[in-house]
Homo-oligomer: A and B are copies of this chain.
């Protein structure tokens, strides 16, 4: 017996069915069936000043069935659509690697495979996402997962009520799919969300019970946060109206992690609306913190050519054009130095939880 579908799943299935019906109608009318697929190339990505997001533009391309160069991709799009519909119908989720295997067949008596490698099926998934306007999580596909979370909030995860105030040193492991049909928020006393780049630093915040003393949710994504963490932070912000603060290393990679959480990324521009938090605030590390917090010179690390080029590129990004950000990045380029969150431990291992972050928040010493 197929499980009863929730509202999210019903909506997604309807979108896939609509796609298929359009094609069937064209066939019945004697026309060449086609799909209108939004273009995902850089040329169709733009910065929206109004929404403060990296967004996909309005360009579309037609994918025809009766076209030698498009027929295979057309077939692949429906293979993937069908597999996703079956996943949703059976109430199961799976990985994009798994989907590749599930949809890989040798066609008839030929030696032709539907897909040769996963790098053929992944772009088809992205095509489907933008065409039917559904996140891959809504198509019941999950990505690699990393990250953990604790804080003064109770959640329900697939029927289990979980008190994130009582998760010990480990925390709750953030899954990849965190849509409303999987995760809901219950009672909470949180005043904000603190997204921490590094798991080791998160462990310091958890061990020092920072989240309890400061009534906040702390979450880490093991470097660049995976989709599950970003989407969950976005939901905590939009549904519970919690401000989001981002704590990263003082290097171009840290700034990039912040900018993806805040504006979305160029690669996944079509998802910015539901993955990004334009109001997110950067609480450090700033290039000016070395002086402000009296750190010795020997904790700095010299930037390499890659770092320098990356920092200079960032100066040109529209989302870093605010005078404060320009000053920040220029100082990094000028000094040629970067430094890590752990460098604050020269002032004591709990300096970061007891003085650095509390002072940043109290003085509103953040960048936006």
Query: 1/0 contact trace for A344-364 toward B, CB 8 Å?
Result: 011001100000000000000
Binds B, one of A154-162, A236-244, A261-269: A154-162
Bound: A336/B116 CA distance, A: 18
Interface membership of A97, Cβ < 8 A: yes
Bound: A146/B182 CA distance, A: 22
Interface membership of A104, Cβ < 8 A: yes
Q: How many residues of A contact B (CB 8 A)?
A: 59
**Cross-chain contact B222 with A203 (CB below 8 angstroms):** no
Chain B residues lying within 8 Å of A92, measured Cβ to Cβ, are: 207-208, 349-350
Interfacial residues of chain A within 152-199, with CB under 8 A of chain B in the complex: 155-162, 166-177, 182-183, 199
**Cross-chain contact A144 with B200 (CB below 8 angstroms):** yes
With A170-B174, A298-B104, A346-B102 in contact, is A200–B148 under 8 Å at CB? no
Which of B159, B161, B172, B340 touches A97 (beta carbons < 8 Å)?
B340
Which residue of A95, A113, A157 has the most chain B CB atoms within 10 A of its CB atom?
A95
Q: Interface majority SS on A: helix, strand, loop or mixed? A: mixed
Bound: A346/B102 CA distance, A: 5
**Cross-chain contact B173 with A157 (CB below 8 angstroms):** no
Q: How far is the CB of A157 from chain B (nearest CB, A)?
A: 2
Chain B residues lying within 8 Å of A340, measured Cβ to Cβ, are: 97, 101
Tell me how many chains of this kind the complex includes. Answer: 2
**Cross-chain contact A175 with B182 (CB below 8 angstroms):** no
Chain B residues lying within 8 Å of A345, measured Cβ to Cβ, are: 94, 98, 101-102
Q: How far is the CB of A351 from chain B (nearest CB, A)?
A: 11
Interfacial residues of chain A within 314-368, with CB under 8 A of chain B in the complex: 340, 342-343, 345-346, 349-350
Bound: A104/B342 CA distance, A: 12
Query: 1/0 contact trace for A90-106 toward B, CB 8 Å?
Result: 00111101101110111
Chain B residues lying within 8 Å of A170, measured Cβ to Cβ, are: 157, 162, 172-175
Interface membership of A123, Cβ < 8 A: no
With A160-B167, A174-B170, A200-B97 in contact, is A146–B222 under 8 Å at CB? yes
Interface membership of A299, Cβ < 8 A: yes
* A residues apposed to B, CB below 8 Å: 87, 92-95, 97-98, 100-102, 104-106, 113, 142, 144-148, 155-162, 166-177, 182-183, 199-200, 203-204, 207-208, 222, 296, 298-299, 340, 342-343, 345-346, 349-350
A–B pairs, 21, beta carbons within 8 Å: A93-B203, A94-B204, A97-B200, A97-B342, A101-B345, A104-B299, A104-B346, A113-B298, A144-B200, A156-B168, A157-B168, A159-B168, A161-B166, A162-B168, A167-B172, A169-B175, A169-B177, A169-B183, A170-B174, A172-B173, A173-B173
